[in-house]
């Protein structure tokens, strides 16, 4: 993997306090991906006092089946995309309706790490470049780390069922792409076709098809859409939208990495530390459900309006600096019904509209 496994293990073992987020911070200091750091601990014996983290490589070739096992066994699951995290309870309490996340992970590990509060266990899944995509935890999301018989049986079952035949350290990622990939500007004819097709949409499925037909990246489609239907807004306005929606009792849906979850969000938060370096907006719900978005991870935020047969469908879409979609926030829209007038009013008050006369 091009790095010294023993050096990595020694660096992690020297951490005075091992927190759940210690791996990401230490990986940055060492110039590694988080996946490199975790995979360096494959084969480490977690019963030795000097070992702070031990990992077992899992087989991801049958990803839908492994995903089903995580849903059934873990206490909570968290999907990660850039600086955005979406967490819901596991064991059928909040995640039973999740779809299988798009894109099979490049690698997955059953990880045991030891801190002041005792051992904590989770399955961590990484993409080709060692970026964390998903994790499933066998400890409480907040507070205690109580280890129950149910935890033990399901944890040992995942490790025994999905253990990979290769238990050597290493992730072997491909080089990460450098910056944003740009394509040539579309011709005026293509832009006109895009805008005409946008206005002709009648279902959300039409919108997905239109994006595919253009041959442009998702955010580039928005860049060339009519400004009546796609406008950039400042990320800090998102907090006002979330806070007002929850105070009005409006149900929200949050989508990260093709996984959409509505769990009865109950509180919104906005934290900006000195200098704004750690600003983040968050949603909290029952059973430990949580969605957190770091402001620094967002390149641009868009308010998107899609015409349908039942009126406009308005969503808030967040993209990283490379143009990859991080998350989508929308009002829950029951099947067969139009968009909530309350949601549209909240967006108008907090974000505004470039065309107040736009009909839906």
Ordered by start, the domain boundaries in the chain are 5-162, 188-350
Q: Across residues 73-80, what is the average pLDDT? A: 86
Rg of the chain over Cα atoms, rounded to whole angstroms, equals: 22
Q: Is the pLDDT of residue 157 over 60?
A: yes
Cα–Cα distance for residue pair 247/268, rounded to 1 Å: 9
What does the pLDDT read at residue 274?
45
The set of residues, in sequence order, having a beta carbon less than 8 Å from that of 133 and lying 6+ positions away, is: 79, 80, 81, 101, 103, 105, 125, 126, 127, 257
Nearest Cα to Cα of residue 118 among 138, 132, 91: 138
**CATH number, span 188-350:** 3.40.1570.10
* pLDDT per position as a tens digit, 300-331: 899 999 888 888 889 999 998 888 888 999 99
Cα–Cα dist 197/199, whole Å: 5
Q: How far apart are the first and last CA of the chain?
A: 54
What's the pLDDT tens digit per position in 215-274? Answer: 777 888 888 888 888 999 988 889 899 999 999 999 888 888 777 777 778 888 877 654
**Average pLDDT of span 137-163:** 73
Averaged pLDDT score across all residues of the chain: 78
Class for the domain spanning 5-162? alpha beta
Residue 318 · residue 303 · CB < 8 Å: no
Give yes or no on whether 5-162 and 188-350 have one common fold: yes
Name the pTM for this structure: 0.73
- Say if residues 241 and 68 touch (Cβ distance below 8 Å): no
């Amino acid at each position: 993997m091009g790095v010294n496994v023993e050096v990595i293990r020694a660096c992690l073992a020297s951490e005075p306090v091992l927190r759940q987020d210690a791996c990401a911070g230490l990986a940055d200091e060492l110039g590694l991906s988080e996946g490199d750091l975790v995979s360096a601990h494959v084969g480490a014996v977690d019963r030795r006092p000097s070992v702070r983290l031990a990992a077992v490589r899992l087989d991801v070739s049958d990803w839908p089946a492994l995903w089903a096992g995580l849903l059934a066994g873990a206490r909570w699951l968290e999907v990660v995309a850039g600086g955005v995290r979406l967490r819901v309870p596991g064991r059928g309490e909040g995640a039973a309706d999740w779809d299988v996340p798009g894109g099979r992970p490049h690698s997955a590990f059953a990880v045991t790490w030891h801190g002041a509060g005792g051992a904590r266990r989770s399955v961590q899944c990484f993409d080709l470049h060692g970026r964390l995509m998903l994790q499933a935890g066998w400890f409480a999301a907040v507070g205690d780390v109580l280890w129950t018989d149910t935890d033990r049986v399901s944890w040992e079952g995942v490790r025994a069922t999905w253990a990979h035949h290769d238990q050597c350290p290493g992730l072997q990622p491909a080089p990460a792409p450098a910056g944003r990939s740009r394509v040539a500007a579309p011709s005026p004819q293509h832009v006109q076709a895009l805008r005409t097709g946008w206005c002709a949409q009648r279902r959300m499925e039409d919108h997905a098809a239109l994006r595919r037909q253009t041959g442009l990246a998702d955010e580039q489609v928005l860049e060339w859409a009519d400004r009546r239907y796609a406008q950039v807004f400042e990320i800090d306005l998102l907090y006002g939208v979330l806070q007002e929606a929850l105070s009005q009792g409006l149900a929200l849906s949050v989508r990260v990495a093709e996984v959409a979850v509505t769990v009865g969000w109950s509180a919104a938060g906005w934290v900006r530390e000195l200098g704004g370096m750690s600003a983040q907006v968050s949603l909290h719900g029952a059973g430990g459900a949580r969605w957190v978005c770091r402001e620094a991870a967002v390149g641009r935020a868009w308010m998107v309006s899609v015409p349908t047969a039942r009126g406009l469908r308005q969503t808030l879409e967040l993209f990283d600096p490379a143009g990859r979609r991080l998350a989508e926030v929308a009002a829950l829209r029951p099947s067969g019904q139009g968009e909530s007038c309350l949601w549209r009013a909240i967006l108008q008050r907090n974000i505004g509209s470039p065309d107040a006369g736009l009909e839906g």
